[in-house]
Amino acid sequence: MASLLIFSLAAAAVLITNANELTWREWMVAALCIGQGLLYFFCITRGGWPISRRKLALYFIGGVGMWGVACWLDPFPWWLGFTYFGQMFGLLPLQAVMPGTAIVTFLIALITSDWNLRQIPLGAAIGFTFQWLAGIALYLFIYNIIRTSGERAKLIVQLEAAQKELELARQRDTELAALQERERLARDLHDSLGHALVALSVQLEAIQRLYKVDPEKASAQVDELKNLTRASMDDLRRSLAGLRAPGLGERHLREALQALSVNMGQRAHLEIKCHVAEQADQLSPAQAETLWRVAQEALANIERHAAARTVQLQLDIESSAALLSIQDDGLGLLPDAEKQPGHYGLRGMRERVEGLGGTLTLTGNGNGSRVDVKLPIL
């Protein structure tokens, strides 16, 4: 609106100033001013944003040309050159601003000297030059601010998108950890309680037939069934205890492992030395939950079976892997401890670790046992 108003006022000012002696020149100058306004309207206002280079070239070449012809007929609208000077800063790309504004500045100086370069005073030439340089400096300053602001806006959009993707990844990790836990529990119940129930069913049928032939032997079989039932109940309690064991929740892994070591040491009268790297809190939820569960199970095994006095728990974070080691000075593990009946906790530890692409190593002798976990960090 301001630009259209400027061109309209220029046309009106030419006619009003020369109202007493209007000639074809004044009418032509007014028409050229109106023509510049119409060119601006159709090329800039109606073109949408961003404006194509073809329309920009048409507007500035045609507009400056009409302005030059108008000033040749009557130098009165010479000041319209400052309008083009400002519009070039706002509409043209950086590589076109400097030559375009230089041409407009030169034409202003030429028109005000009555189209004679020799009549331009030295002071006026210096003044126009400094005016152009100051305009360029201001433009570059504003251009740099706008460009920096635009780059920051893009970075903010990228960060917001990355944050949303990270949140979705955390949710997927949590869901995956819950699904893996369900699968592990199902395998434990199938391997322990399921097999025990099958054995109970078969032996009950055998006892039912045996009572008619040998009651004493059948009674002995009942005693064996009692022992099998108690063992099955112990396995069931163990699975339920593992299911009810609190996970990390909102706690940080480093803090949770240190608290676990302190509580376990006080309860079992163990000297537990715990060292956890600060970078452990940057692990994904699934990785942190796996390491936490492995540490829980390993310390629980040490408390129940190892008869140890000291325990060393260490979690180191390397560039490509998280390394957890838990070592005690107890009785040690049997060579085939994982294959022994009832050792579902050891198998569950391995399933958790291997489910995330890691490795679990169990070593033991008469001087103690050691659990080593290596989880890859992607």
Where does the pLDDT of residue 108 fall: very low under 50, low under 70, confident under 90, or very high at 90 and above?
A: confident
Residue ranges per structural domain of the chain: 2-120, 251-378
Residue 248 has pLDDT above 80, yes or no: no
Please state which of the ranges 115-119, 154-158, 251-255 shows the lowest mean pLDDT.
115-119
pTM, to two decimals = 0.44
| pLDDT greater at residue 192 or residue 142 | 142
What does each C-alpha distance from 260 to 11, 108, 178, 220 come to in angstroms?
86, 82, 22, 45
pLDDT given for residue 280 in this prediction: 92
pLDDT at 155 over 90: yes
For position 191, what pLDDT does the model report?
59
Q: Among 94-98, 202-206, 298-302, 369-373, which is the least confidently predicted range?
A: 202-206
Across 33-45, average pLDDT: 89
Give me the chain's average pLDDT, please: 84
Do 311 and 350 contact (CB within 8 A), yes or no? no
Provide the pLDDT confidence category of residue 343 given band limits of 50, 70 and 90.
low
- At 350 the pLDDT is 86
Which of the residue ranges 99-113, 194-208, 313-327 would you say has the lowest mean pLDDT?
A: 194-208
Q: 308 or 225: whose pLDDT is higher?
A: 308
The pLDDT value given to residue 183: 75
pLDDT at 245 over 70: no
Q: Percent of the chain beyond pLDDT 90?
A: 24
User: Which pLDDT does position 114 carry in this prediction?
Assistant: 83
CATH of span 251-378: 3.30.565.10
> 147 vs 16, which has greater pLDDT?
16
Q: How confident is the model at residue 201 (pLDDT cuts 50, 70, 90)?
A: confident
Percent of the chain with pLDDT over 70: 90
Q: Note the pLDDT of residue 365.
A: 76
**Dihedral Cα 318, 378, 251, 249, nearest 10 deg:** -150
pLDDT band (50, 70, 90) for residue 126? confident
